Amino acid sequence: MHASANILLPVITSLARISAGDDTQVQVIVEQGILPCLAQLLARNYPKIIKKQACLIVSNITAGSKDQIQAVIDADVMNHVIVLLKTSETDLKKEAAWAISNAASGGSSDQIQYLVSRGCLEPLCNVLKYQDVDLVYTCLEGLQNILVEGEIGKQGNESVMNPYAQFILENGGLDNLEELQDFDNDAVYKLAMTLLERYWDEEVSDDANLPASKDGSAENVETVPEDAAAQPPVPAPSADGTE
């Protein structure tokens, strides 16, 4: 928390290297109180390089255990990272996307619902446009975990669409997923196809059968109102009272 960026940069760079260690080493810096400091660094007007290193540390922590992900949430760090994912420049967005994708990929049901409630779903779908193979794949794993939770929230009502799948469909995320069919990586392609076939099989089939317009593109048969909800509904609690 030193006021000088010249002092902060070598310190936070060293901490970022430590955070790349194993779970035990990461836990040491968590227990030493790094998370409240990171929350302030991310919230205040520090140089971009400082915030990038802070996001890198967060992403290394969220790649760890569920307890470490929860510690990030409890310190309000994740909320600041989501804000960066929505509003910052591309290179900083990528670091923030790693932190969110790792948390969504390895998080518990409650942690995933927290991420969705804070508005992570739409910016995560936008990450699919990047050409970073590892980032896109981790993002897909996170989206897969989120969609699984949406299925649980349906409570066996198969006539109702997964609320998270519906949100992705209404906010353009399905287009980004479909474009991954041309992504030059087999693992990304296969996971994208798995999600498309599992959650949007009917929509993808309908798109394939749309008549072509004069310019050769498929015509739009339905548009989403501009005032469509910005957040997906949270799945209803299950029979035992849990969400």
User: Exposed, middle or buried: residue 33 (CB in 10 Å: 0-12, 13-18, 19+)?
Assistant: exposed
Q: Please answer whether residues 124 and 210 qualify as being in contact, where contact means their C-beta atoms are separated by less than 8 angstroms.
A: no
Burial letters 184-219, b for 16+ CB under 10 A, else e: eeeebeebbeebbeebbeeebeeeeeeeeeeeeeee
Query: 125: Cβ–Cβ under 8 A, 6 or more apart, which residues?
Result: 143, 168, 171, 172, 173, 176, 177
What is the C-alpha R_g of the chain? 19
The CA–CA distances, whole Å, from 99 to 63, 138, 175, 184, 213 equal: 8, 10, 23, 24, 41
Distance (Å, whole) CA 99 – CA 70? 13
The pLDDT of residue 236: 52
Could you tell me what percent of the chain has a pLDDT over 70?
82
- For the stretch 86-141, pLDDT in tens is 888 888 988 999 999 999 989 998 999 999 999 999 999 999 999 899 999 999 99
pLDDT grade for 211, boundaries at 50, 70 and 90: very low
Confidence of residue 16 (pLDDT cuts 50, 70, 90): very high
Q: Specify the pLDDT at position 203.
A: 77
Q: Is the pTM of this model over 0.85?
A: no
Q: Could you tell me the pLDDT band of residue 32, with boundaries at 50, 70 and 90?
A: very high
Q: What are the structural domains, with CATH classification, of the chain?
A: 5-200 (1.25.10.10)
The pLDDT value recorded for residue 215 is 44
- Answer whether residue 64 shows pLDDT above 50: yes
The token duo for 86 is: 């929505």
Question: What integer pLDDT is reported at residue 88 of this predicted model?
Answer: 85
Per-residue pLDDT at 212: 42
